[in-house]
Structure 1
Amino acid sequence: MRNIVKQHNPMNSPIHTNLKKPHLVIIGCGMACGKLLEALIKRDAEHYHISVIGEENTPNYNRIMLSPLLAGEITQEALILNSLAWYEANRITLYSGEKVIHVNTDRKSLTTDVGTELCYDHLVFATGSRPAKIPASGQHLKNIFAFRTLKDVEGILQVVHKAKKALVIGGGLLGLEAAYGLALQGVHTTVIHRSSHLLNRQLDSAAGALLQTSMEALGVNSILNDEVASFEGSEAVKTATLKSGLTLSVDLVIIATGITPEITLARQVSLACNRGIKVDDNLLTSDANISALGECIEHKNTTFGLVAPIWDQVEILADRLIYSRQSPYVQRPSPTKLKVSGIDLFSAGDISEKTDDQVILIQDTASHIYRKFILRNQRLVGIVLFGDVQGGNTYFELLDSQQPIPHLLPPLLLGDLTTHSAIAESAHLGSENDLTGATL
């Protein structure tokens, strides 16, 4: 019986594929790869012989759930999206724990760091991203971690019970979710964020202030408008010095300042790259035999870090690979939610107001409720909901459709399209200089 699932190939034995089927090889075994595999199988499970090469020692898992794993809310097994048994059942060859080090585009072949050699008919780059770096010195010290992989979280969990004070660098989605996980483990946690408010890409300053207060109630403090200049310690980190001059005692650090598309191999192959691997509307690279999707790509000067657009890319690519259907990928806005228990937050679109925008603002200060809608040319272009996210998906559909919605303005003033019109009469449209809207 042929070994469908392979973990390393120490004898460098040749890989026998069904010559009647084209060989599709995917580099990278993350969430984008897993979703693409499912989409291909759904369309035609017998169309390709498929091989997947992943650097990590596990099959694809749900990276989004790393923070609940850190918090102790789920088990490691719960992260796995497609088990080894699933790969075997679908006759997909998986090479886990292997890194592709060379691709010969003329021969349409590749080699891994353990000597595995494969030929392909079509190649897909799903190499994902790597953690963004910070310019602080002393990052070689022990107990300083990224927050990107299962291995990162395993390392953190080995030391978290001995830690008393933790520092999380980055007040974005990933950083806040990591900080929440540490707080649930009983560690005094502080977030360092170089911007003036948390989630500055998703929230305005008012909602950011509410978020900061809510995080403090969960045991996570914040230091804003500052950055780490250096880490100090003999073997393990003991202190962190900020650019402001403040020195903090710390014995655990997580760096979560964003991601950078992983394009190292793509550059070696001479694929066209900028910040990411450049792809056209069909997700083809500059090589007609190589496609790419996910966090490693750049499409029309945009890179991607959220799941929703990558799922759209999966459908486009699967249709082309199976049906030869040329359906162009079109970028769409994606909603943002924070996975922190007790904090309800929803954001989508362009939250920066322009001079001629109309702004609807509904606030309940006592209840920490903040609902903001930005309209441009009678179209909904931005949404910020905090404390009360009722109707978030409905608003997002309006934003995504980009249809004029003047007929919906009266109920929209209420913030949920459902409550009494009498309240709407007390609200009014504002401009950049009049953002009071309805204060309820």
Structure 2
Amino acid sequence: MNSNSIIIVGASAAGISAAREIRSLDTEVPVRIFTDETYRPYYRPFLTEYIGDKSVENRVNFYLNPENWYRDRKIELNLGEKVVAVDPVGMSIQTEHGNRYSFSRLILANGSRPFVPFKDAVGKKNVFSIRTLNDARAVHDQAEKAATALVIGGGLLGLEAAHSLTNRGVEVTILEASDRILPRQLDSECSVILQNIVTRKNVTLIIGKSIDSITGDTMAKGVRLSTGEVVPADMIIISIGIRPNVDLATNCGITVNWAVVVNDRMETTSSGIYACGDVAEFNGRNIALWMPAVNQGKVAGSNAAGKPARFIDAVYPAVMNSFGTKIFSAGDLCLDMKEGDYKLHIMKNIDKNHYKKLFFVNDRLVGFILIGDISESQKLTAAIKNGTAYADLVP
């Protein structure tokens, strides 16, 4: 195989962004992408919507590129071929089929996997996580015959999944072990507002309780809580976080903390090997969101192609459009600060479920939450970046 190849492991946001950037800079260098998924790369944030409506797959932007995009750009897309080992000294990879490929530069963009801490979830046919198109298809099909569903986790993905199932007439319960839903994206006051919106859509919320076990044999019947209560369900979705896929890096001696450690060029500690997206950790942060993955992939691709580029961290918002409302949360919400160490500005119209909360530290905007009307989101995001003063934002 051509030892001058640039190999990309992973075909989602970061991997495809890297390939696009490489090809924009060098039309000749061989580019090979490997993914264990069997589908053309797609827009993963659509998956929770897909479980409510399969026609989402027919949208023009569901797949990241048309089939001929890869062929026309001479990008070799190897679907269903998982990379199982990296040899940084011999500069080669090995796939599960026993094939070995040489590289001159390697980009690890192999993402993350769902965190499933419950051993008794294994093997139960109606217990799911949502990470791939296969996952979404399985959840969609199970919902056809389910009257009730339990979503474990009240984060963004869990809420979006609950919304899609509710729209299909499934009776949904959300179980969140923390003291509120969206605990990382909302403060307590805003979470209560959202909880009221969600429960008005006939969703049951169980807050601040943990799971003792998942009941049932080959099919789950529900969960038993640590309090002894039993919550029955015809299907269960586990959505309590992700873990970066660091095994490839760990096994070949690349430095890993929580994720694969990279510098601002997306370089790992092994020469010629880059990492980006959910699998990468920059400045102690594993961001694991779509847009930073795209940006990191672009930087990794540029450097792999020989054009120096650096990743500049930015304000990446949390966005949700479910249960008849919209949420946009960005920046530092001062969740770990004491009252008096920051200043608040609040505007609310409870009748219309509109709410705006601005967080200031040293008189400068550091974060905000918008519920309902999110039309100011871009202006406020820019204001965080610019360190806009309280007097310039509050009449």
The answer to whether TM tops 0.5 is yes
**Which residue in the other structure is 2:8 paired with?**
26
Structure 1 position 225, deviation (Å)? 0.3
Secondary structure class of the residue paired with 2:355: strand
User: What is the CA–CA distance in structure 2 between the aligned matches of 1:138 and 1:132, rounded to whole Å?
Assistant: 12
Q: Secondary structure at the match of 1:366?
A: helix
Give the secondary-structure state (helix, strand or coil) at the position aligned to 1:314. helix
The one-letter amino acid of 1:308's match is: M
Amino acid at match of 2:349: D
Paired position in structure 1 for 2:380: 395
1:80 aligned to 57, 63, 66, which one?
A: 63
For 1:32 and 1:218, locate their aligned partners in 2 and report how far apart those are by CA, in whole Å.
36
Whether 1:44 aligns to 2:26 is yes
Aligned-partner Cα distance in 2 for 1:154–1:250: 19
Match of 1:344 among 296, 318, 326: 326
Deviation string 1:365-423 (CA, Å, 9 cap, x unpaired) is 33222211111112110101112212111001010222x42551xxx23xxxxxxxxxx
- The secondary structure found in structure 2 opposite 1:312 is helix
What pairs up with 1:303-382 in 2 under 5 angstroms? 303-325=286-308, 327-340=309-322, 342-352=324-334, 353-354=337-338, 355-382=340-367
Does residue 1:259 correspond to 2:242, yes or no?
yes
Q: How much identity, in percent, do the aligned residues show?
A: 28
Alignment partner of 1:184 out of 128, 150, 167:
167
Looking at structure 2, the residues matched to 380 and 233 of structure 1 have their Cα atoms a distance apart, in angstroms, of 50
Any conservation in 2 of the 1:61–1:81 contact (CA below 8 Å)? yes
Deviation per CA, 1:321-358: give whole Å up to 9, x if none. 33431x43232221111032621211101112543311
1:136, distance to aligned residue in structure 2 (A): 5.8
What is the aligned partner in structure 2 of residue 10 from structure 1? none
SS state of the match for residue 320, structure 1? helix
Paired position in structure 2 for 1:6: none
Aligned equivalent of 2:85, options 69, 78, 102:
102
- C-alpha contact (below 8 Å) 2:14/2:298 kept by paired residues: no
Q: Larger Cα Rg: Structure 1 or Structure 2?
A: 1
1:239-260 CA-to-partner distances (Å, cap 9, x unmatched) read 2111222101111001011111
Structure 1: distance between partners of 2:209 and 2:304: 47
Q: What's 1:121 paired with?
A: 104
Counterparts in 2 of 1:97 and 1:108: CA distance versus 1, 3 Å: same
Shift of 1:289: 1.3
Q: CA deviation at 1:300?
A: 1.5
> Match for residue 46 of structure 2?
65
Letter in 2 for 1:396: T
Gaps of 5+ in 1: 1-14, 414-423, 425-440
1:62-119 alpha-carbon deviations (Å, 9 max, x no partner): 1100011111063334322124322111111111111112222221111111122210
Larger mean CA deviation between 243-252 and 360-369 belongs to 360-369
1:218 aligns with 2:201: yes
Consecutive unaligned residues in structure 2, runs of 5 or more:
none
Return the alpha-carbon distance in structure 2 between the equivalents of residues 315 and 178 of structure 1.
30
Aligned AA for 1:75? V
Distance 2:31 2:302 in 1: 16
Amino acid of the residue matched to residue 253 of structure 1?
I
Q: Structure 2: how far apart are the matches of 1:146 and 1:138? A: 10
Residue type of the alignment partner of 2:344? V
Equivalent in 362, 383, 391 of residue 368 of structure 2: 383
The residue identity in structure 2 corresponding to 1:368 is: N
What CA RMSD, in Å, does the superposition of the two structures yield over aligned residues?
1.8
CA contact (8 A) 2:14 2:295 kept: no
Distance in 1 (CA, whole Å) between partners of 2:241 and 2:58 is 26
2:352 partner SS = coil
SS in 2 for 1:253: strand
Instruction: Write the distance in 2 (CA, Å) between the matches of 1:282 and 1:156.
Output: 38
Aligned length: 390
Structure 2 residue aligned with 1:4: none
Whether 1:405 aligns to 2:395 is: no
Tell me: higher relative CO, structure 1 or 2? Use CA pairs within 8 A at least 6 residues apart.
Answer: 2
Render the CA deviation track for 1:185-210: whole Å, top value 9, x for unaligned.
21101111011111110111111111
Match of 2:276 in 1: 293
User: 1:263·1:276 contact (CA, 8 Å) conserved in 2?
Assistant: yes
Mapping 1:166-185, distance limit 5 Å? 166-185=149-168
Q: CA contact under 8 A between 2:16 and 2:297: conserved in structure 1?
A: no
Question: Cα 1:67–1:53, aligned 2, differ >3 Å: closer, same or farther?
Answer: same
Contact in 1 for aligned 2:148/2:172 (Cα 8 Å):
yes
Aligned to 1:137: 120
CA deviation digits over 1:227-272, x for unaligned, max 9?
A: 2221111321112111222101111001011111110111111110
Q: Which runs of 4+ in 1 moved over 4 A?
A: none
Structure-1-length-normalised TM-score: 0.85
SS of the residue aligned with 1:337?
A: strand
